[in-house]
Structure 1
């Protein structure tokens, strides 16, 4: 584990504290695009958000490089209690919703070229897809308000069941063949997408209905965490249709698909090919930092509330983003998430970049990895 041992815990300060507000730049980008479009930038203006997220940020990430410093453990309680960090996650939501309303108004006004319409969908999809990361941070906390805010952040993508499946399904089954959100060695993102989308939905419903069945109660209640989260989406979409007309529903559905697909491509790269081994008792070993791909790229970690320190997150789900650590035992991605998302969309590139890293992580033994069944002959030893 990389530790900043050059300062005592009492004197330690978070050097990135002034940088964390940059995470709010993403939901601000649609307003920049709108100003550019209104100023005569044409349909290309609506591609500013995807271009910044998947073009500019990876370049800056490469130039600035990694930051593997960890806060001293004695400083963690103070960091956890600092409201500055949690308010940054709260502020993402009003910015997210303001961007959604703006773009719904633009869509409803009509007159968009196909290029502009596609860019508008991609713009809002990226903002709401990254909002799922904010929902992820909030949904892991014990505070009731933060858990409800997690569902609010999920409402624009209609992915409220993520709140249940991620916390109670994925974290239990991660890096096993039973987990629909853990991708397998040799499995392309395009094969993973339907498996994780439908598998996660089914798993979430089973988990939530099972919770009520154990108590002898009906799951058809507002206390059902899937139903109340989906209800938020229905109410949100209904209000936007009243405000901007029924034609905006097409836009809302398209941006939702882009948004939750962005989540799923991140899921794809976070655990690709990694596997927990069976113990002598036949159970899976405990989750530890070896079971998630990690990245210490500075810029993307700031923009994603340190989601890339995913190994520590799975080992310690209740730790807030500002306290997550980098471990030497974690397998490392060759770039930040913004770069790896693009690579994941192109299977030959992904296989060339990642397959040998998975095998190296397991000493060349594919039997220790989580392998996609149709790809087994390709990786068979000898």
Structure 2
């Protein structure tokens, strides 16, 4: 008797909307503050993201399942998955407006610090939504990507990530690839400045090759920055000039979250040069991965980073796990906290980099002293 073939189904399908919990957390904090009368309720979002989620991640464990290639076209075409990313944006902006309103009321020093972290974490994680949308060919999704980037003022990421990082990843020439022995705090100024300079060079070169001035509305950096300027101006009109301090502080927190994720994604990994002197093609060995189910759901499977670099147009629901990819010991939420503490980070990660290269540090992307 021939066994019946069971059709494959996405067991994570009902879980993907959980990604919208992140922009919903500030509203949970608002309700908690109203119920308790304490401004310390504004620490709820950082506590959940940086404390509770890592614990859940550990308890739930890994999911190594990959979708069969024959179902990938249908998965890619499904509007269900796209709408989840689209819905993140109105929730993100609603949270930003609400936190601005709380800021100008004066939540106290402790509440203000929690409020900055709250908005910064939401908008920093929104950069991941922008990342998912910005890789797609559809014009709508590319514009939505810039809208998601506007609250952090990091619109140049749209250019640098797609046309800079994906070309130079895991090489010393990439400002977003961290080096073995480089602390996050040393990496941060290098990547912030380097990514901005690289993005501007890439975009101005694109316009000059077409015989036109880069000072144009068609400049993807300038039109993204205009969105930020208009957003901040509108919020200043609505809530007064005092809100600008909040907007700047939360933006710094937001893009620092992005750069912390960049830091851990390729730490110490290096593409070797071939006989022609060129860097080898990007493959699954050049990104740190994690199959932790919880953080993959919250981050649209960003942690399956190797497949993303090999196939940037693949949508999050179709990304695969590879056995040859180097694996992080925990999900991104845990590793982000670890990255902020250099001695702990190096104790955990440096041996893993060396093991990946069979003990030969000369094969790694190393910090040059």
Q: Which band: TM-score by shorter chain?
A: over 0.9
TM-score (norm 1): 0.95
2:35 to 36, 39, 49: 39
1:214 aligns with 2:196: no
User: What residue number does 1:241 align with?
Assistant: 236
User: What residue number does 1:91 align with?
Assistant: 87
For residues 217-296 of structure 1, what are the structure 2 equivalents within 5 Å? 217-296=212-291
For residues 357-368 of structure 1, what are the structure 2 equivalents within 5 Å? 357-368=352-363
SS in 1 for 2:104: helix
Runs of 4+ in 1 over 2 A off after TM superposition: none
SS in 2 for 1:373: coil
CA-based RMSD of the aligned residues comes to 1.0
TM superposition shift of 1:113: 1.4
TM superposition shift of 1:108: 1.3
TM superposition shift of 1:38: 1.8
For residues 291-306 of structure 1, what are the structure 2 equivalents within 5 Å? 291-306=286-301
TM superposition shift of 1:39: 1.8
- The 1:311–1:246 alpha-carbon spacing in structure 2 relative to 1, beyond 3 Å, is same
User: What residue number does 1:18 align with?
Assistant: 14
Flag structure 1 segments of 5+ consecutive residues without an equivalent: 1-5, 375-382
Mapped partners of 1:340, 1:44: distance in 2: 25
Query: For each residue in 1:184-221, what CA deviation from the matched residue of structure 2 results, as whole angstroms up to 9, or x when unmatched?
Result: 00000000000000000000000000001111110000
User: What residue number does 1:344 align with?
Assistant: 339
TM-score (norm 2): 0.98
SS in 1 for 2:193: helix
Query: For each residue in 1:77-99, what CA deviation from the matched residue of structure 2 results, as whole angstroms up to 9, or x when unmatched?
Result: 01000100010000000000000
User: What residue number does 2:62 align with?
Assistant: 66
Mapped partners of 2:335, 2:105: distance in 1: 36
Query: For each residue in 1:327-378, what CA deviation from the matched residue of structure 2 results, as whole angstroms up to 9, or x when unmatched?
Result: 011000000000000000000000000000000000100010000112xxxx
User: What residue number does 1:380 align with?
Assistant: none
SS in 1 for 2:167: helix
SS in 1 for 2:303: coil
Mapped partners of 1:150, 1:138: distance in 2: 5
Query: For each residue in 1:213-239, what CA deviation from the matched residue of structure 2 results, as whole angstroms up to 9, or x when unmatched?
Result: 111110000000000000000000000
SS in 2 for 1:211: helix
SS in 2 for 1:350: helix
User: What residue number does 1:100 align with?
Assistant: 96
Mapped partners of 1:41, 1:281: distance in 2: 67
SS in 2 for 1:163: helix
Flag structure 2 segments of 5+ consecutive residues without an equivalent: none
Query: For each residue in 1:252-298, what CA deviation from the matched residue of structure 2 results, as whole angstroms up to 9, or x when unmatched?
Result: 00000000000000000000000000000000000000000000000
TM superposition shift of 1:40: 2.2
User: What residue number does 1:378 align with?
Assistant: none
Matched pairs, number: 367
1:120 to 88, 112, 115: 115
Mapped partners of 1:212, 1:167: distance in 2: 16
TM superposition shift of 1:7: 9.3
